[in-house]
Structure 1
């Protein structure tokens, strides 16, 4: 489908219209393709183009896809009671259950995953997004109150397997647990590379997302508690201070995938709040970077401008986890809640 310039959008309150788009984009296998705006007001020509692709198998969890549609349809059905929403949600739900590996991980793409699409994927919301929806269903969340018992029980089992996979994937260095990578090998569970500029690493961003999910588990066992504690300790170890990232004006240049009139630099600033590198080298805890050539470097300045401006290389999400969320969770655990 060709996106039009200045394509209009629905507002969040137009649930029926948005849900109609979600139904329209659902593939015959129950999943959804990525990178389509479900809030766009489509022309009749665009709608026809989408209908003509219903048999495609380009379905994926990448870039926050499929699990958000399942969750939205569950909420739409709970609110409006349209049977079409329930049927489509159930098909998407079954797609998610079928896509999960027996060991609990989720591939980036399904069906017939291959290459990086077959990896256990944590970045871009893949595995934690799926597990969050499954856990909501298993826990009788209000928007899943209508779900049948069979699917609810399957969701609970899938969520348990997912947690087991998370614990299995957590990287160990000299016997000590650290964090998680962006993707992990679906057989060895080791952190692995994805796109050429996405190196095998430990990822503070994805580690933070995983820890947040683990902290939602009721009555976590000793393994989950140890996992969270170790990941938090690692995030503290790899915190970067005394620097900030600045976007500056630069001569305009057009690359294959984007155009920019800026550049990104790292400057010293003793008053800057802490940052974390997007990718941390396993074993050394050094920030690592890469251009599309896949060559590992140790500073943002060594990355070419195309990737300096085309990817985010530093994150701040661990800050709130360490300062607020984790202490609150730790206090609750200590109190036996």
Structure 2
């Protein structure tokens, strides 16, 4: 009887811990309050946050204003992310580069959903339209600006080139500083609190940043960057790869894939918005696997990780089915030869598709979601198809990401 009671208490304790870990609470930083490397990280994050705030506050003081104005909003950034090669040699490219640079925060990053192509940021104006994402890595912000400016660098005038180089170097330093001591990346930096502080795979945040570090380290596009910085980028890239391997979720003793958000310390899956509960994710996991596949001379840990994920994707794919949206919601139709589908989320208990309405209510199928949620979110996706297509070549040692 005593043994049974102890067992039940252990199970209850485990459940309670899991419940606590499901959401990132403000006290997570206290778990590493005795570790100097983490405390230095937090202190630098706060320093950069204050730098951004004081810069804007000083502008407002000089203008005798009390409230900052907002720039124009844009779904992306307003500029072509991969323009026609002829564009780089045009006067418009130089004008646009100056606009992009004007929106770089004093800390070194950029925001999202802000028009950074039409006109330069003005004094007393916010650096982005959403205060919780100034600056951020969400929606490919900061990495997109770095890649754009570095692509334009060879075409820039002699007068502009030093300004470009200074902005790019500062931005790369910003990314390097943003990486957690354990190799992860938060959604925003300087840290903002809440789920933003989680190690973020959602919308491919971490994978994009690791690809950026890899480019900085190896691509001739960044040959103007100091060798020591490029070497540091390479070290931190591999530190991030090690984090990916540690974060891969094991359920019932088997490796599966990854979550959208992981706890910065325990690496457990955690909640973000009300409809983004702790869960396995298909699309972001697929991008992680493709990144691991392109590494030369993969370690045994990488091989094990890829093999497990491929097996998981193979087991979960939905074949010969298409999804149609309408004002009445979403329906599924049988279609031979259709791209395979995967649910965006899978629960952590039975690894079955997980659907959550905006109010946090779990439902058993998409049909039970509100029409707004059915049509306003990518509940099924096909990204993992690229993994299954690449796997035979990777297995044979022939896979190339290009």
Shared fold by TM > 0.5? yes
* Secondary structure of the corresponding residue to residue 169 of structure 2: helix
Contact 1:243 1:266 (C-alpha < 8 Å) held by counterparts: no
Q: Say which SS state the counterpart of residue 31 (structure 1) adopts.
A: coil
d(CA) in 1 for partners of 2:79, 2:253: 52
The change in CA–CA distance for 1:2 and 1:53 in structure 2 (over 3 A counts) is closer
The unaligned stretches of length 5 or more in structure 1 are 249-261
Following the alignment from structure 1 to structure 2, what is the Cα–Cα distance between the partners of residues 91 and 152? 13
Please say if 1:41 is aligned against 2:115.
no
Note the 1:228-243 alignment, pairs <5 A. Answer: 228-243=306-321
Instruction: Tell me which residue corresponds to 1:264.
Output: 329
2:287 corresponds in structure 1 to: 209
| Number of residue pairs the alignment of both structures matches | 312
Q: 2:200 aligns with which of 121, 132, 135?
A: 121
- 1:12-49 residue CA offsets vs partner (Å, 9 max, x unmatched): 324323322220110011011111233x323xxx6326
Cα distance 1:125–1:303, how it changes in 2: closer, same or farther (>3 A)? Answer: same
Contact map agreement 1:28 1:54 (CA 8 A) in 2: no
Where do 5+ consecutive residues of structure 2 fail to align?
1-69
Q: How far off is 1:326 after superposition?
A: 2.0
- Map Cα deviations across residues 191-214 of structure 1 (whole Å, 9 max, x no partner): 111111112111110111101111
Q: Distance in 2 between matches of 1:263 and 1:188?
A: 42
Q: Supply the distance in 1 between the matched residues of 2:248 and 2:385 (Cα, whole angstroms).
A: 20
Give 1:2 shift: 4.7
Change (3 A) 1:105 1:37: same
For residues 171 and 73 of structure 2, what CA distance do their matches in structure 1 show?
Answer: 28
Match of 2:189 among 107, 110, 131: 110
**Equivalence for 1:72:** 148
Contact 2:78 2:114 in 1 (8 A): no
- In the TM superposition, residue 263 of structure 1 has moved relative to its aligned partner by 4.0
Secondary structure in 2 matching 1:247: strand
- Give distance in 2, aligned partners of 1:18 and 1:329: 40
Find the counterpart in structure 2 of residue 257 from structure 1: none
- Give the CA deviation at 1:233: 0.8
- Please identify the structure whose Cα radius of gyration is greater: 2
- CA-to-partner distance for each residue in 1:164-218, whole Å, 9 max, x for gaps? 1101110001221110111111111011111111121111101111011111212
**More off after superposition, 304-313 vs 263-272:** 263-272
Question: d(CA) in 2 for partners of 1:75 and 1:10?
Answer: 13
Give every structure 1 segment of 4 or more consecutive aligned residues whose post-TM-superposition deviation is greater than 4 Å: 8-11, 54-57
CA distance in 2, matches of 1:201, 1:245: 22
Given the alignment of the two structures, is residue 52 of structure 1 paired with residue 120 of structure 2, yes or no?
no
Task: Give the Cα separation in 1 of the matches to 2:317 and 2:331.
Answer: 15
Residues 294 and 177 (structure 1), Cα distance of their counterparts in 2 relative to 1, 3 Å cut: same
Q: CA deviation at 1:244?
A: 2.1
Give the RMSD, CA atoms, in angstroms. Answer: 2.3
Q: Is the 8 A contact 1:289 1:297 kept in 2?
A: yes
Distance 1:326 1:269, change over 3 A: same
Deviation at 1:113, TM superposition (A): 3.2
- For residue 139 of structure 2, the aligned residue among 59, 63, 70 is 63
